Amino acid sequence: MNSQFLLAAAHSGAGKTTVMLGLLRALQRMGLRVQPFKCGPDYIDPIHHRTAAGTNSINLDRFMMSDAHIRQLYNQYGSAADVGITEGVMGLFDGAKKREGSSADIARLLGLPVILILDANAMAYSAKSSAEKPTKNRPREKRERRWRQFVGSGRRRASLRKARA
């Protein structure tokens, strides 16, 4: 794969699936071969992934799979793709057993950078702290970008930019 990353959020309902589906469809329409993956034992989101990407989505679940099996699946299905996108589960550090099996855990296992999706509804300066805390919490995780969801107006966008500075 030329490009690969994991989409995560601080909590469920922040818009991971919406962003994932939009990216899959946009990249697929650009003529790129996109391989979707999903953290955990989810069976609904992968159906939507397949519709958006035109390729079956592969579940990656540390509760039911060994690390070696996850790596083997990731490499097998990702090898023919231009872009591999993995959708996280729940919040970035929420796993089946504490942090085990979390989105951060899968990103660490596969060496994936994380794009953190922030629900920026009703926040301004808190957005910066929310975006920085996961990296300070686990400095070994790669985090390259933040994606703000539910930014309702130009005024809100301006306050978020000012807070980020």
Where in the chain are the domains?
3-164
- Regarding the domain delimited by 3-164, which CATH topology (the fold level of the hierarchy) does it fall under? Rossmann fold (3.40.50)
Secondary structure (H, E, C), 13-75 = CCCHHHHHHHHHHHHHHCCCCEEEEEECCCCCHHHHHHHHHCCCCEEECCCCCCHHHHHHHHH
b/e per residue 141-151 (b: at least 16 CB within 10 A): bebeebbbbeb
Helix pair angle (16-29, 45-53), 10° resolution: 20
Report pLDDT for 60: 97
Task: State the 10-residue block means of pLDDT for the chain, 165 residues long.
Answer: 90 90 97 96 94 97 95 97 96 83 94 88 60 52 51 59 58
Report pLDDT for 159: 58
Report pLDDT for 66: 97
Report pLDDT for 158: 63
pTM comes to 0.78
Report pLDDT for 150: 52
